[in-house]
Structure 1
Amino acid sequence: MSAQTNDILQQELLSNLSRYQDRAARVFHGRGKYFEALSSLNIEWYPPYLFVQNFSESLSDDIAASLKKVFDNNLYISAIIIQTRSWPELETSILYQRSECELPIEHTAKLSDKLKSHVSLGKNRNTGVFLDMRAGWQWVEENAQDKSVLNLFSYTSIFSLFALEGGAKKVINMDMSAGALRTAQRNHNLNGISQGK
């Protein structure tokens, strides 16, 4: 990987981390192939944890060095977690950390000024939140007033949180996974917004 590519990764991360300082966000989307040399990476921010999803068999030394520079120069990052996803294998480890922590990290992440969600970093292939759905969350919140919302394949029901925050009179969450629905109930309770809706 070239020095220019390393610089691009660091610049993108720093720009997006400053934009989303206190809330969970996708801060690098390499899988969109805009940065071809970095197309094996997605990086998500669950303050104070940087969660790197690596879709190649191993993380290159150059990428690890770029991440180390970002980590060393930004004390608000507590740890960088790497999840290598070479299908069907899944391996998660802590690349850098400021103090001792163990995987999986069970964490409450801020999604917006008012909403938060439980996330699990390093336990499964998914964290409990699909951060690339942020524009959809906003749309639902802006259009849910006095509506009944059916959330099919709801997973942990993040869309329902935004619907209720936007004034939905009722939400129904449906998913095949009982575990995901338990986390969804936990998320609704965590935000204290369902009130029988």
Structure 2
Amino acid sequence: MSNEIVLTLKTDFAEKFKNGYPLISKESISDWSRVPSEGSILKLFDEKKNFIAKGYHGIQNKGYGWVLSTKEDEIIDITLFKNKISSAIKYREDFYQDDKTTAFRVFNGEGDGVGGLTIDYFDGYYLLTWYSIGIYEFREEILEALKLTVEYKGIYQKKRFDSKGMYLNENDDFLYGQKAPEPLIVKENGANFAIYLDDGAMVGVFLDQREVRKTIRDKYAKGKSALNTFSYTGVFSVFAALGGATQTTSVDLAKRSRPKTQEQFTINSIDLDKQSIIVEDVFDYFKYAVRKKLSFDIVIVDPPSFARSKKRTFSANKDYVKLLKEVITITSKNGLIVASTNSANFSMMTFRDFIKTAFKELRVKYKVEESFSLPKDFKVLNECKESDYLKVVFIRRFG
């Protein structure tokens, strides 16, 4: 059993926790210096010594811990985690019944009651991702709870922390059951994805963009040319091609993006001769496209929140307007821009302001066709809206 530490909430924070807010920040606690180590159980009281909530101490980019229970006598053990996982599974019953989609999120951190932990499902395999040393201290209880709750082919883990909060690779991603084939072929809305459960921090696809990809395929791609920037393994390009795009261009700086993208096309029986895969800095490619007077009917732009290369640093907060202006320049008249960000540091309203500013500065008119946030399996608490990080806007360029 982890240490239990009694802490007092500052008055202006106590009400938020009473109303279900789950994130414990350093600023919310009167005397944070009393917390000895990550993984400690935190019992939170208001200044009148009324019990408010119980959680754990775990440092990640969002804060210093998460609430696990609002019951003072509830023990943080296998039973608690089993109940939360069981509830999460029930919430996603329809996903398990869909044979056209065999990859989805089973447990989404604070949305399912345990901040700092996610669990993804890949055709019978489960992947747990730990985001802090604090939640990793409960790994035995959580893993046992998962094994008691689900039938599984195999269980894997990713540790997204070290002294700097980054991915820690100890070559131990495989935990239980049988190892997955490499690649493991999963389905999303009928399309195939090749993923690798034991190959670094990422598996090859971001599950939160499922509805966005489907929309591109089903509504916008037919007969269009598509440019996929920051393309990673090219899955947006795959869906554009499956939707009838005349040609796709995928651009990413990572050298491994070429073989990974080729693999995704191949397992979907897509003709590689009609697809262009370019390994280059996206911003350099923009300059090339302008120089060659290239334009595209659809431009997909889904950059990381923060990235640094030898030439430049990109921050979504500071640089998205500039990025959009580059995208607008190479988008055909009446073309479509799919603008996306996973930055949790600003709201959808602010993101729409970025879009407005970019078009205004270029004196180009536009119309928002539709927008997306996280899908159902990426459950978000109403009391913690900042966890709904995904913002995607489909923009029609005029003029």
Q: 1:82 aligns with which of 150, 153, 157?
A: 157
Q: 1:110 aligns with which of 187, 200, 203?
A: 187
- In the TM superposition, what are the counterparts of 1:8-87 in structure 2 within 5 Å? 8-16=84-92, 19-21=95-97, 22=99, 23-30=102-109, 33-35=110-112, 37-57=113-133, 58=136, 60=138, 61-71=140-150, 74=151, 77-86=152-161, 87=165
One-letter code aligned to 1:11: S
Q: 1:42 to 1:155 in 2, by over 3 A?
A: same
Give 1:134 deviation, angstroms: 0.6
- Counterpart residue number, 1:146: 223
Deviations 1:122-156 (A, max 9, x none): 21100011111112111211211111110001010
The secondary structure found in structure 2 opposite 1:163 is helix
Q: Give the distance between the partners of 2:226 and 2:130, measured in 1 at CA.
A: 35
Task: Tell me if the contact between 1:149 and 1:163 (Cα under 8 Å) persists in the aligned partners.
Answer: yes
Give 1:15 deviation, angstroms: 4.2
Ranked by relative contact order (alpha carbons within 8 Å, sequence separation 6 or more), the top structure is 1
- Counterpart residue number, 1:130: 206
- In the TM superposition, what are the counterparts of 1:174-189 in structure 2 within 5 Å? 174-189=251-266
For the pair shown, the structure with the greater C-alpha radius of gyration is 2
In percent, how many aligned pairs have the same letter? 27
Q: 1:176 to 1:195 in 2, by over 3 A?
A: closer
- In the TM superposition, what are the counterparts of 1:151-170 in structure 2 within 5 Å? 151-170=228-247
Q: Which moved more, 1:130-139 or 1:52-61?
A: 52-61
Task: Tell me if the contact between 2:195 and 2:204 (Cα under 8 Å) persists in the aligned partners.
Answer: yes
For structure 1, the residue ranges without an aligned partner over 5 or more in a row are none
Q: Give the distance between the partners of 2:214 and 2:96, measured in 1 at CA.
A: 15
For structure 2, the residue ranges without an aligned partner over 5 or more in a row are 1-75, 275-399
Q: 1:131 to 1:107 in 2, by over 3 A?
A: same
Give 1:112 deviation, angstroms: 2.5
The secondary structure found in structure 1 opposite 2:111 is coil
Q: 1:128 to 1:79 in 2, by over 3 A?
A: same
Task: Tell me if the contact between 1:149 and 1:170 (Cα under 8 Å) persists in the aligned partners.
Answer: yes
Task: Tell me if the contact between 1:152 and 1:174 (Cα under 8 Å) persists in the aligned partners.
Answer: yes
The TM-score normalised by the length of structure 2 is 0.43
Deviations 1:70-106 (A, max 9, x none): 24xx2xx201112122133234433321x4x38x953
Query: How many residue pairs are counted as aligned between the two chains?
Result: 186
The TM-score normalised by the length of structure 1 is 0.83
The secondary structure found in structure 2 opposite 1:178 is coil
The secondary structure found in structure 1 opposite 2:92 is helix
Q: Give the distance between the partners of 2:88 and 2:195, measured in 1 at CA.
A: 24
Give 1:6 deviation, angstroms: 3.2
The secondary structure found in structure 1 opposite 2:256 is helix
RMSD (CA atoms)? 2.2
